[in-house]
Structure 1
Amino acid sequence: MSSVTVSPATVSSVVDLAQQLVRQPSRGGVDAYGPVLGVIEEWLAARSLPHRRLRDGDGETVGLLVEIAGGRPGPWWALDACVDTAPYGDTARWTFPPASGDVRDGWLLGRGAADSKLAAAVFCHIAAGIAPRAHACAGGLAVLLDVDEHTGNFGGARAYLADPAAVRPAGVIIGYPGIDDVVVGGRGLWRATITVHAPSGHSGSSRPVTGAISRAAHLVRLLDAAELPGPDGSGFPLGPKLSVTAFHGGEGFSVTPDRVDINVDVRTTPSFDARSAEALVRRAVAELDTALAVAVPTTVTEVAAWPSFRLREHEQPAAALLSAARQAGLDVRAKTAGPSNIGNLLAGHGIPATAGFGVPYDGLHGIDERASLAELPTVYAVHEQAILSLLDAPRPPR
């Protein structure tokens, strides 16, 4: 078992802070972020933890950064948990208010309980436990409590990485939930909007017209039929995946439109990267423009590109987290995820990251989101032990 134990008082305090956070609606791109960040800022200030606000290019606060410098030279490590959330969806289908924050039958209820306000509360408490003994640590600990994550913009993380005053971390542990796995890798992505053109026309015309919708539908069929490689044997366990995720164009009934916009999402791998994804899509576009030629060619506009990433089990911070989990008696596996996450953004900056180790959950991004509290002491102990080992720090007294 882990050498780190967690007192009932600490667990109770973590739950209390998490409840306060859940009760502050903070849907990405919908709610103001000031109230939820204010809860954390007040908590940090009451414990004299060194912290500062992170702002985006428009001057908006997009996160709080706690920085605890050790007393000996060494690398810095970061804990990251977002405190904005997914939307509520159909609130009529929830069996409790989305901003409940209540504890029922051992579960913390409400949007953000799982992703990732409970993790934010855990990380704040870990920082508070380490700060008084920072002189015995090597390097330093940063705790990033960010917003603008569920918009896909990752404003808080980007502000942290762009901040010249912040020490670049040697690795980041991201506080996503799920107790069976430590996510040590993920597919990357390449996203683009494809604009398909055609002459507009009247739907009742006697002259046949191949409108933009018909041309776009033909392109979707080409993309769906495109051959993608499987896993390449390099150790990355997943192959790429292509999905058409949006189709916009036309209105009414009597006009065939002259333009349709399609969104394409390609999940990439080390051997099928963003350049490979773009080349595949452009080949399909060229085939469309040859088969159904029009005066205005189809255009491809890249929207985003993140690299895939994968850590070996012996690489940090994966090794520390896996070791601490196994010492705590958990049968965890190192997992490479199909969906992308903030670890991909960090990988683009050459910073290794783990994610996806936390408490069990239900309803994440869906109806009746909740997080299990029964495993909270173990999850807390695992993260604390991992950070203590990375900082080469002694066990804090209990």
Structure 2
Amino acid sequence: MSQRARTASVVELAQELIRRPSRAGIDDYGPVLTVLEDWLAARELPHRRLDDDSGTLVGLLVEIAGGRPGAWWTLDACVDTAPYGDEATWSFPPTAGEVVDGWLRGRGAADSKLAAALFCHIAADLAHRAADWAGGLAVLLDVDEHTGVFGGARAYLADEAAHRPAGVMIGYPGFDEVVVGGRGLWRAQVTVHAPSGHSGSSKTVVSAISRAARLVQLLDADALPGVVDASGFPLAPKLTITAIHGGQGFSVTPDRVDLNVDVRTTPGFDAHDAETVVRKATVELDAELPAPAPTDIAPVATWPPFRLADDEEPAAALLNAATAAGLQVRTKTAGPSNIGNLLAGEGIPATAGFGLPYEGLHGIDERAHLAELPTVYAVYKGAVLGLLGG
């Protein structure tokens, strides 16, 4: 297949995916995954469905075994998406899937349906050479990613029949950088208590809302360390209050308020440090403004930070392939967490982004620029062949 024909085929598949709504936690994932199943079956690529513990379909897995023993490597792209937001603010339908002025338009064009189409084509392109490989190539096409649950990736890692990858390359977009790391996170729900009462009562009580507001002040005032990590990690930790829930109506002072606390962690400020900061603030709150019950902290998620060295696979293979394609890309450690953090917790190294230039990621008018598609294709194909020795 010529480069022009292959590019057109990648775009055509991506268009079909964009036209199937697959908003995380909103839409049925069946239609978008069926498009991929039909495409893979038509090319006789070995694939199967991945289900979560409840039996819900959360992804597809392609596995192509090499002719000699060796490590397995995985290309991963999610095919669920962020929600649309206010569709009235878009200048085109979120499911447009059209190409205008060299841009593929629609939700998922950037993150990450175009990458899914590209990775499927790489698998089809290279399958006939598998006998020359040492190891094997997997392509994970997952959903339940934008929920933050990472159900597809978790089902892959839990699948005893799947070959455990030596490394993963995730197809998040961005043409100038190879993302080799990301901050981790520690998240908790903090529950603040207080006596309930009538807002018009002559007896003054400190409501749970007032106590929660004071806790926010204490947390905001607690200075976290800056970028002084001995490991060379380039980002500082960060604490954010992301939600506050409590109270109803006007006449009752609430006896409970729940706060969501999100702390982004680094190798030098880990989950234990994050929890220590939050517990310190709650102890101070309870001493300053006593309540019938102590403030509760319920951790809900912990992911480790990660960062690959430039000479560590699969980062090295991707960087070398980019250089061979004539690109000068830099490495980046991302502030937000991603599937790379989940993989790091499993001891699996990952890159978390190199792809097409984009606009509107998770926002309005999402689109990806197609002129660079042949180069991105060549880089990932070169990286796979470098890893498999084919």
Q: Are 2:80 and 2:145, in contact at CA under 8 Å, matched by a contact in 1?
A: yes
Cα distance in 2 between the residues matched to 1:350 and 1:74 = 18
Equivalents in 1 of 2:349, 2:230: separation in Å?
Answer: 22
Runs of 4+ in structure 1 deviating by more than 4 angstroms, as ranges, are: none
Question: Residues of 1 paired with 2:51 and 2:291: CA distance?
Answer: 46
Structure 1 counterpart of 2:311: 314
Cα distance between partner residues in 2 of 1:315 and 1:117: 27
Question: Is 1:39 paired with 2:35?
Answer: yes
Q: 1:219: which partner in 2?
A: 215
Distance (whole Å) between structure 1 residues aligned to residue 332 and residue 215 of structure 2: 34
Give the match for residue 160 of structure 2. 164
Counterpart Cα distance in 1 of 2:94 and 2:178? 28
In structure 1, distance between residues paired with 2:242 and 2:68: 50
The residue type equivalent to 1:185 in the other structure is: G
Deviations 1:318-356 (A, max 9, x none): 000011112212121010111111100000000000012
CA deviations over 1:93-135 (Å, ceiling 9, x no partner) = 1111100001100000100000000000000000001111100
Q: Which residue of 2 aligns with 1:367?
A: 364
> In 1, distance between residues paired with 2:377 and 2:61?
20
**Secondary structure class of the residue paired with 2:112:** helix
The reply to whether residue 25 of structure 1 matches residue 25 of structure 2 is: no
Structure 1 distance, partners of 2:143, 2:114, is 14
Secondary structure of 1:113 counterpart = coil
Counterpart pick for 2:250 among 228, 250, 253? 253
Q: What is the aligned-residue RMSD (CA, Å)? A: 0.9
Unpaired runs of at least 5, structure 2: none
Residue 8 of structure 1 pairs with residue 4 of structure 2? yes
**Matched ranges for 1:29-178 at <5 A:** 29-178=25-174
User: Partners of 1:16 and 1:295 in 2: how far apart?
Assistant: 62
Alpha-carbon distance, 1:293 to partner: 0.9
Q: Aligned equivalents of 1:253 and 1:247: distance in 2?
A: 17
Partner of 2:302: 305
CA distance in 1, matches of 2:347, 2:8: 37
How far does the alpha carbon of each residue in 1:255-307 deviate from its partner, in whole angstroms, 9 at most, with x for none? 11000000000000001111110111011111111111112111000110000
Give the match's secondary structure for 1:150.
coil
Judged with a 3 Å threshold, the aligned counterparts in structure 2 of structure 1 residues 221 and 6 are, in CA distance, closer, same or farther, namely farther
Q: CA deviation at 1:49?
A: 0.1
**Other-structure match for 1:194:** 190
Indicate if the aligned counterparts of 2:169 and 2:353 stay in contact, CA closer than 8 A.
no
Any gaps of 5 or more consecutive residues in structure 1?
Answer: 394-398
Q: Could you tell me which amino acid in structure 1 is paired with residue 269 of structure 2?
A: F
Asked if the contact 2:172/2:355 (under 8 Å) is kept, the reply is: yes
Equivalent pair of 2:46/2:62 in contact (CA under 8 Å): yes
TM-superposed CA distance for 1:230, in Å, is 1.2
After superposition, what is the alpha-carbon deviation per residue over 1:51-74, rounded to whole angstroms, capped at 9, x for unaligned? Answer: 000000110110000000000111
Distance (Å, rounded) in 1 between the aligned partners of 2:60 and 2:231: 38
The structural deviation recorded for 1:143 is 0.3
Paired with 2:336 and 2:54, the residues of 1 have a C-alpha distance of 29
1:206 Cα deviation after fit: 1.5
Q: Give the Cα–Cα distance (whole angstroms) in 1 for the partners of residues 156 and 217 of structure 2.
A: 41
Map of 1:396 onto structure 2: none
CA distance in 2, matches of 1:141, 1:312: 23
Corresponding residue for residue 354 of structure 1: 351
1:285 aligns with 2:285: no
SS of match in other structure, 1:115: coil
AA matched with 1:222: L
Moved more, 256-265 or 202-211: 202-211
Q: Secondary structure at the match of 2:110?
A: helix
Maintained 8 Å contact 1:197/1:296: yes
Report if aligned partners of 1:79, 1:172 keep a CA contact under 8 Å in 2: yes
Partner residue, 1:275 = 272
* 2:230/2:268 contact within 8 Å kept: no
Q: 2:257 aligns to what SS in structure 1?
A: strand
Provide the residue aligned with 2:321 in structure 1: 324
Per-residue CA deviations over 1:17-67 (Å, capped at 9, x if unaligned) read 000000000000000000000000000000000000000011011000000
Deviations 1:204-233 (CA, angstroms, capped at 9, x unpaired): 112111000000000000000112111223
Which residue identity does 2:188 align to in structure 1?
A
Cα deviation for residue 6 of structure 1 reads 6.5
Q: Is the 8 A contact 1:6 1:381 kept in 2?
A: no
Q: For each residue in 1:349-369, what CA deviation from the matched residue of structure 2 results, as whole angstroms up to 9, or x when unmatched?
A: 000000120000000100000
Aligned partners of 2:348, 2:304: CA distance in 1, in Å?
12
Corresponding residue for residue 392 of structure 1: 389
Cα distance in 2 for residues equivalent to 1:103 and 1:149: 26
How many Å separate the matches in 2 of 1:255 and 1:61?
Answer: 45
SS of residue in 2 equivalent to 1:195 = strand
TM-score norm. by structure 2 comes to 0.99
Structure 2 residue matching 1:81: 3-state secondary structure: strand
